Amino acid sequence: MSDTDESQMTFEQAMAELERVVGQLERGDVALDASIDLYERGARLKARCEAKLAEAQEKVAKITLDRDGQPTGTTPVEGL
Amino acid sequence: MDLFEDDTAQTPSNAPEFSVSELSGAVKRTIESGFSHIRVRGEVGRVTLARTGHLYFDLKDERAVLSAISWKGQVAKMTVRPEEGMEVIATGRMTTFAGQSRYQMTVENVEPAGAGALMAMLEKRKALLASEGLFDPARKRPLPYLPDIIGVVTSPTGAVIRDILHRLRERFARKVLIWPVAVQGQNCAAEVANAINGFNALTPGGALPRPDLLIVARGGGSVEDLWGFNEEIVARAAAASRIPLISAVGHETDTTLIDFVSDRRAPTPTAAAEIAVPVRLELATWVSDQETRMARSVTQAQERRAQRLRDLARSLARPERALEAPQQRFDRASERLDVALQGLVAKRSVELARTAAALRPAVLQARIAAAQERAMGLSARLAPALARGTNDHHKAFARVAQRLDGDMVSQIALRKSEALATTTQRFSRVTQGQISDWRARLDALERMRQTLGYTATLTRGYAVVRGAQGLVTSAQDAAAIVSVEFSDGLVAVGPGAAPAASAQPESTQGASVAQAGPKKAKRKAQKKSDAPPDQGSLF
């Protein structure tokens, strides 16, 4: 994966990539320059993960249906 | 018997007389009042759902068949619909249909005759769907790790949706779309199937965004309550769903048909929420753990490198010390350099002096003189050597000339002259022999010629008579005779006759002479032989 697409990753992808980066850094077999790049990439991945985690907003809606059972829209659901 | 028969046949009865309608009405009243609430157990026969929504079916046992009808409103309330072959207990009342002289049962509710019957039906459906491969584990899709939108198919009111939302909130709050359905009763199956299909028909990210995970949920209940989730259309809709689907119907011990085709079965609605999302706090902890590990490993790696650098630096010798030994060698070499140079110059000077000594002019002149002397000597020897060489050649020539003396040449000439004379003698001898041979042969030939020629004939008395025109061989031509030839001469005859010349005629004419006639010739020859050789002149 290139370094530019973290913002497009799903949480799961970012997580797997972060895990890989950390594992690579921990093995310690990366050159100094590369390890700095890796660290920066890890930081971006972590930011992506945190952003996805921060998106934890509850929004519950009920679908409204017409006579034939086809969806017409939603109504917010409160108090459940 | 006969009398009685006659009575009935012929005598009008006292019994009251009914119209058909009156009787039908009476029967109707009797039946409907007598069977206003009944429960009938039997097997369901042929089932027909009319377009009006009324349901017509038969109830039967070994000996009898009972027509049954459920009106549309009644059908809607049924939890279990009658199906052919099903053993049921139907609850309702009897009615009549006077128009066709029929009676029938109006069924308000149908219950399976014992759970066994219902389960047998369920097993039959399961076998059918399993044979189509809908329960194949390979068909089950993995659930998304963290779905953004979760679609929940359930009743919008009640404990189930509350439990699900509550547990989602605890773990990882998400967007939830609720598709409200009846979770029991006649509409349940159709509505649940429609909801599953409807969620799949939405477009991702649209005004109504398509969820990435579905939960079909219902709380616990009786087998009949849950029966809608055993319906084939629900199972088929769940199997066809492209969105991963978690089924959570009833309690843990309740298993419905949808559980076999869903991608994941949750024992309870709460458990479905737990399966649906991870715990956010745990993830946040994990992420910060990763950060810590990352920072630690980078720091450690740097520390490791720094340590190694220090180690290497320590093991590097001081530069001054590294130069000491070479410095010392340099100093010593520098000292020895002057001495060695002076020594070398001295040595070379001596060699030069020695070499230069040999190069004085006197020595060179002496060498030139010596060379001149040698040249002179060689020049002096040159002329005598040349003369000697010439002399030698002269002598050799003289020796050869001496060998060329006159005697030898004369001897050779003499020898050759003798050989010539001998050869000449042999030649003349041979030639003489040859010539005398040829002469002898010539004589012989001449003799033969004379013998064969006519002249010899002449000596034997023949003569040759000639005229002016040649030989005369006929007596008629005697007048033309000019001369007669004999062996010893020619005699002229006739007017022109003259003493015969002694000239010899051509010997070639002899042959004609011989033919001139022997008589005449003989006579002439006789005459001639008597005459002397010169008697020709007597004529």
* Distance between B291 CA and the closest CA of chain A, angstroms: 7
Q: What is the per-residue pLDDT for B353?
A: 87
Q: What is the per-residue pLDDT for B478?
A: 78
Asked if pLDDT for residue B192 goes beyond 90, the answer is yes
Q: What's the mean pLDDT in B474-484? A: 81
A79 within a domain of the structure (yes/no): no
Closest residue to B280, CB basis, from A28, A30, A56: A56
Angle at which helices B232-240 and B188-201 pack, to 10 degrees?
10
Cβ proximity of B10 and B20 under 8 Å: no
Question: Of B212, B119, B111, B219, which is closest to residue B164 (Cα–Cα)?
Answer: B219
Report how far apart, in Å, the C-alpha atoms of A1 and of each of A14, A17, A41, B49, B277 are. 11, 9, 11, 60, 26
Q: Tell me which DSSP letter residue B359 carries.
A: T
A59 within a domain of the structure (yes/no): yes
In a mutational test of the B interface, the residue from A63, A70, A77, A78 whose CB has the highest number of chain B CBs within 10 Å is A63
Per the DSSP assignment, residues forming a β-bridge with B481 are B467
Question: Of A30, A45, A37, which is closest to residue B301 (Cα–Cα)?
Answer: A30
Q: How confident is the model at residue B18 (pLDDT cuts 50, 70, 90)?
A: confident
Q: Strand pairing of B481-486 and B464-467?
A: antiparallel
B161 to A80: CB separation less than 8 angstroms, yes or no:
yes
Q: How confident is the model at residue B500 (pLDDT cuts 50, 70, 90)?
A: very low
Q: What is the distance between the alpha carbons of residues B396 and B415, in angstroms, rounded to a whole number?
A: 29
Report how far apart, in Å, the C-alpha atoms of B192 and of each of B184, B212, B276, B324, B443 are. 10, 18, 20, 95, 174
A63 within a domain of the structure (yes/no): yes
Characterize B345-374 residue by residue with b for buried, 16 or more Cβ atoms within 10 angstroms of its Cβ, and e for exposed.
eeeeeeeeeeeeeeeeeeeeeeeeeeeeee
Q: What's the mean pLDDT in B118-134? A: 86
Asked if pLDDT for residue B481 goes beyond 70, the answer is yes
Q: What is the value of ipTM here, to two decimals? A: 0.83
Helix ranges, B316-360 (H): 319-357
Q: How confident is the model at residue B495 (pLDDT cuts 50, 70, 90)?
A: low
Closest residue to B293, CB basis, from A10, A22, A30: A22
Question: Of B165, B166, B174, which is closest to residue B147 (Cα–Cα)?
Answer: B174
Residue range of the domain that includes A29: 6-74
B290 to A46: CB separation less than 8 angstroms, yes or no:
yes
Tokens of B119: 């389960």
Chain A residues in contact with chain B using a Cβ-Cβ cutoff of 8 Å: 10-12, 15, 18-19, 21-22, 25-26, 28, 30, 32, 35-36, 39, 42-43, 46, 49-50, 52-53, 56-63, 65, 69-71, 73-74, 77, 80
Amino acid B480 reads A
Residues in chain B closer than 8 A to A59 (CB atoms): 175-176
Q: What is the distance between the alpha carbons of residues B64 and B255, in angstroms, rounded to a whole number?
A: 37
Hunting for tokens 């020898």 — which residue is that?
Answer: B415
Cβ proximity of B103 and B35 under 8 Å: no
Q: Strand pairing of B38-49 and B87-97?
A: antiparallel
In a mutational test of the B interface, the residue from A44, A62, A68, A70 whose CB has the highest number of chain B CBs within 10 Å is A62
Tell me whether residue B340 is exposed, middle or buried, using C-beta atoms within 10 angstroms of its C-beta: 0 to 12, 13 to 18, 19 or more: exposed
Q: Strand pairing of B65-70 and B102-112?
A: parallel
Up-side HSE of residue B386: CA atoms within 13 Å toward CB?
5
Q: What is the per-residue pLDDT for B507?
A: 44
- Domains identified in chain A, total number: 1
Q: What is the distance between the alpha carbons of residues B283 and B388, in angstroms, rounded to a whole number?
A: 133
What is the maximal distance between C-alpha atoms in chain A?
67
Q: What is the dihedral of CA B502, B507, B511, B517, to 10 degrees?
A: 0
- Percent of chain B residues past pLDDT 90, beyond the cut: 36
Main-chain phi, psi angles of B247, to 5 degrees: -100, 135
User: Angle CA(B1)–CA(B4)–CA(B10) in degrees, nearest 5?
Assistant: 135
pLDDT digits (tens, 9 = 90+) for B207-228: 889 999 999 999 988 887 888 8
In a mutational test of the B interface, the residue from A36, A60, A66, A68 whose CB has the highest number of chain B CBs within 10 Å is A60
Q: What is the per-residue pLDDT for B11?
A: 57
A10 within a domain of the structure (yes/no): yes
B287 to A46: CB separation less than 8 angstroms, yes or no:
yes
A31: closest chain B residue by CA:
B301
3-state DSSP assignment of residue B41: strand
Closest residue to A69, CB basis, from B145, B165, B191: B191
* Distance between A38 CA and the closest CA of chain B, angstroms: 9
A10: closest chain B residue by CA:
B146
A69 within a domain of the structure (yes/no): yes
pLDDT digits (tens, 9 = 90+) for B232-258: 999 999 999 999 999 999 887 888 899
User: Which residues numbered 285-314 in B keep a CB inside 8 Å of some CB on A?
Assistant: 286-287, 290-291, 293-295, 297-298, 300-302, 304-305
Q: What is the per-residue pLDDT for B536?
A: 47
* Distance between B317 CA and the closest CA of chain A, angstroms: 26
Residues in chain A closer than 8 A to B162 (CB atoms): 80
Cβ proximity of A69 and B181 under 8 Å: no
Cβ proximity of B165 and A80 under 8 Å: yes
User: Angle CA(B250)–CA(B254)–CA(B260) in degrees, nearest 5?
Assistant: 100
Per the DSSP assignment, residues forming a β-bridge with B109 are B91
User: Angle CA(B197)–CA(A8)–CA(A48) in degrees, nearest 5?
Assistant: 110
Long-range contacts of A1-9 (CB under 8 A, 24+ apart): A3/A37, A3/A41, A3/A44, A6/A41, A6/A44, A6/A45, A6/A47, A6/A48, A7/A48, A9/A45, A9/A48
Report how far apart, in Å, the C-alpha atoms of B286 and of each of A14, A15, B386 are. 12, 9, 127
A1 within a domain of the structure (yes/no): no
Q: What is the per-residue pLDDT for B384?
A: 87
Asked if pLDDT for residue B532 goes beyond 50, the answer is no
| First CA to last CA distance, chain A | 42
Cβ proximity of B513 and B463 under 8 Å: yes
Per the DSSP assignment, residues forming a β-bridge with B474 are none
CATH number for position A36: 1.10.287
Closest residue to A25, CB basis, from B144, B284, B294: B294
Asked if pLDDT for residue B528 goes beyond 80, the answer is no
Residues in chain A closer than 8 A to B295 (CB atoms): 39
Q: What is the per-residue pLDDT for B480?
A: 79
Q: What is the distance between the alpha carbons of residues B31 and B28, in angstroms, rounded to a whole number?
A: 5
pLDDT digits (tens, 9 = 90+) for A6-53: 888 888 889 999 999 989 888 878 888 888 888 889 999 998 888 888
Q: What is the per-residue pLDDT for B104?
A: 92
Tokens of B247: 């089924």
B165: closest chain A residue by CA:
A80
3-state helix, strand, coil in chain B (%, to 5): 55, 15, 25
Cβ proximity of B112 and B118 under 8 Å: yes
Closest residue to A60, CB basis, from B165, B172, B194: B165
* Distance between B204 CA and the closest CA of chain A, angstroms: 15
Q: What's the mean pLDDT in B342-357? A: 89
Q: What is the per-residue pLDDT for B90?
A: 92
Model-level pTM greater than 0.80? no
pLDDT digits (tens, 9 = 90+) for B391-439: 999 999 888 888 777 777 888 889 999 999 999 999 988 889 889 999 9
Question: How many Cβ atoms from other residues are within 10 Å of residue B131's Cβ?
Answer: 9
Question: Of B177, B175, B172, which is closest to residue B145 (Cα–Cα)?
Answer: B172
Cβ proximity of B100 and B200 under 8 Å: no
Q: Which residues contact A75 (CB under 8 A, 6 or more apart)?
A: A61, A62, A64
Range with lowest mean pLDDT among B337-351, B434-448, B458-472:
B458-472
A80 within a domain of the structure (yes/no): no
Q: What is the per-residue pLDDT for B10?
A: 53
SS (H, E, C) B136-187: CHHHCCCCCCCCCEEEEEECCCCHHHHHHHHHHHHHCCCEEEEEECCCCCCC
pLDDT, greater one: B144 or B504: B144
Question: Of B216, B182, B174, B219, which is closest to residue B199 (Cα–Cα)?
Answer: B216
